[in-house]
């Protein structure tokens, strides 16, 4: 089972600021996903990255996959209160087991 | 298209009592997952089904937890007897296999409180 480390554990910022959260592993990801989970809801898939060095953008969210496919980052530009939530990275092994990191709790203050 | 449906949303039981959770996955999704999530933590896999076969139940505490997925569609997760430490949110997810691996869709979860 691949161990995913996410940092920071908590992040609190003011509306309009930027933020970056990280996901790292000691082994290579076959693919990596980012999810966002709001209180009382299940996680919702934001993006899947597969190729080393890949960059994907989703409105104000930018996802990067490290060249060695061992790390990934999620950058939010001009954060809004609606971005508040638990951000989770997840990976699959060769057996399609979907494993999650512990998550980063992001709070955006109005 | 309906998403993953779980019931009940909330359950409060006394310790040593049994409890069951139900999940209806997205139509056509062959893979079904049960996860347990503690507050502020990531989901931890309990069991994964491919159709009606449990292909990964290594994290399921089999002395008190059981699961089934009859006919490869709906699934139930049971705890008997429940312990205080079982208090958590139990999430069900389903997925289709894609070229880049599974992309899971989650239900809203069942929040279990054992008192």
Report pLDDT digits (tens) over A38-69.
Answer: 999 999 999 999 899 999 999 999 999 999 99
Residues present in chain A in total: 110
Q: CA-CA distance, A95 to A50, in Å (whole number)?
A: 16
Q: Taking residues A91-95, what's their average pLDDT? A: 76
* B100–A48 C-beta distance less than 8 A: yes
Dihedral through CA B39, CA B73, CA B48, CA B40, nearest 10? Answer: -10
> What is the sign of the dihedral through the CA atoms of A43, A48, A53 and A59?
negative
3-state secondary structure of A96: coil
Tell me the pLDDT tens digit for each residue of B84-105.
999 999 999 999 876 667 789 9
The pLDDT mean for chain B works out to: 93
Residues present in chain B in total: 115
Q: CA-CA distance, A62 to B13, in Å (whole number)?
A: 43
Which residues in B17-109 belong to E strands, given as ranges?
19-24, 31-37, 44-50, 53-56, 65-68, 75-79, 88-96, 103-106
Nearest C-alpha neighbor of A22 from the set A84, A58, A59, A76: A76
pLDDT at position A2 over 80 = no
List, in sequence order, the alpha helices (H) in A12-108.
none
Q: Give the Cβ contact number of residue B42 at 10 Å.
A: 22
Backbone angles phi, psi at B111, to 5 degrees: -90, 115
Measure in Å the smallest separation between the Cα of A22 and chain B Cα atoms.
14
- Residue numbers in B near A100 (CB within 8 A): 35, 42-44
Residue of A43, A65, A86, A99 best to disrupt the B interface, most CBs of B under 10 A: A43
Nearest CA in chain A to B94: A98
- Residue numbers in B near A69 (CB within 8 A): none
* B45–A98 C-beta distance less than 8 A: yes
What tokens appear for B114 in the block?
Answer: 């054992």
pLDDT at position A94 over 70 = no
The pLDDT mean for chain A works out to: 93
Q: CA-CA distance, A54 to A49, in Å (whole number)?
A: 7
* B103–A96 C-beta distance less than 8 A: no
What tokens appear for A1 in the block?
Answer: 């089972």
- pLDDT given for residue B98 in this prediction: 66
H/E run at residue A68: none
* B45–A97 C-beta distance less than 8 A: yes
Q: Output B54-63 pairs: Cβ under 8 A, ≥24 positions apart.
A: B55/A95, B56/A95, B56/A97
């Amino acid at each position: 089972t691949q161990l995913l480390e996410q940092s920071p554990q908590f992040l609190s910022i003011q509306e309009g600021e930027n933020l970056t959260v990280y996901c790292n592993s000691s082994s290579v990801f076959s693919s990596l996903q980012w999810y966002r989970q709001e209180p009382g809801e299940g996680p919702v898939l934001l993006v899947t990255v597969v190729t080393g060095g890949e960059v994907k953008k989703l409105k104000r969210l930018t996802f990067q996959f490290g060249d060695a496919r061992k790390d990934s980052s999620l950058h939010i530009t001009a954060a809004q209160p609606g971005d508040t939530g638990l951000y989770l990275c997840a990976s699959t092994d060769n057996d399609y087991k979907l494993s999650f990191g512990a998550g980063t709790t992001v709070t955006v203050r109005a | 298209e309906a998403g993953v449906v779980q019931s009940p949303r909330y359950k409060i039981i006394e310790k040593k009592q049994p409890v069951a959770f139900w999940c209806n996955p997205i139509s056509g999704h062959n893979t079904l997952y049960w996860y347990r999530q503690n507050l502020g933590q990531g989901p931890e896999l309990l069991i994964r089904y491919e159709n009606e076969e449990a292909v990964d139940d290594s994290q399921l505490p089999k002395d008190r937890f059981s699961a089934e997925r009859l006919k490869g569609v709906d699934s139930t997760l049971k705890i008997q007897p429940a312990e205080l430490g079982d208090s958590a949110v139990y999430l069900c997810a389903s997925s289709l296999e894609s070229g880049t691996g599974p992309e899971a869709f989650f239900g809203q979860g069942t929040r279990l409180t054992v008192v």
